[in-house]
Structure 1
């Protein structure tokens, strides 16, 4: 009797396992992804300087909406004296339509040594995917917005007034997969207003090194048409970072 019960019990347990976990079972899709990257540079000898940059991106993408937050930080010092300190926060919420999406966006910048120490931009508009294949993705956005710029202090203007302007924001975001583990991404954004115009190119090359680890080279170029006295029109930031993706 025992010899009959033992095989029967094993068969019953195996049958229960198959019933609980069907052969075509798949893990539910994860709507949340995150990226964390950082880079550090140290120079010693004739020049003693150090620099650090970091970036965190959070994305929550569902069938009807997409929420995205990006935080960037840049810091540099030379001979124990801070020469650069900049923080950027970008927030965007998309509501998906049958064709395209409606978005609301906020861009905030705090720059200790920039031509503008505080920049706040709010915009709304419409976007759509012009291309959406495995290798190539291109999305376009357009909409009105409001911009607040606080210029840095200068010899000519020790207490500058903030610039407030209604703008038109247009953006193009492209992602090109070169190979299975390498890709190029570029965001081109133009903000046109009565008082000032800006053009920003954020471009990077990403190469997957091991599983969720990747090496990333980035270039951020921003051109501002009207800048305070003794300030340059173009700001360029180049980064060499190690990136990790949470899925």
Structure 2
């Protein structure tokens, strides 16, 4: 089993699947939608409508890049308020048309510069959590890389929450934790162990429901095999959730998060 900080490093690798790649390779078709209808479009969050075996779904996720140019364009996957408001708009649209919502999360956190604060980043995250808590269609949230702070939680309130094998989910980074607790960011490796941020730790604590493997018998799986497995798991879960009533969808999601 990998040590916690090894998983942190793997979660941060620049070659990890992006939301765009997952949307285009897991689903049969994907049509991107833009803008929050209030300020503008945030490239750090990608969202739109996809089809999966004849079923329409809404796909939303934080978007990073594979090189410096794209990461700068995507703000390294750290959304501004308009990104979360775009997400909220798409989730409400999904509810209106009865589409399940699938979110993919890979962010170190929301972007907290002066402009974000001026445009209400805290309020946007809070509104996203409120909307997700009450949404009457199923939500499946999948951590595909980093999952940091409220910026990750804002898309992570699913009826089921999954993590890829080399992903992390925490209230802050190990470096931040070490700086606050021990006044020494160099103790980040130790902090990662203490924080229990690995998928297996969080599965044991019932914070997440499933781990999507990226290796088999200690060998890295091919990308196409990981995509095929994730597609199969998503289809099976959506078929199961088809049996749920709107009332049960909301009650199950709220009960799930209240237990923490």
TM-score under structure 1 length normalisation: 0.28
Instruction: Choose between structure 1 and 2: higher helix proportion.
Output: 2
Tell me which structure has the larger Cα radius of gyration. 1
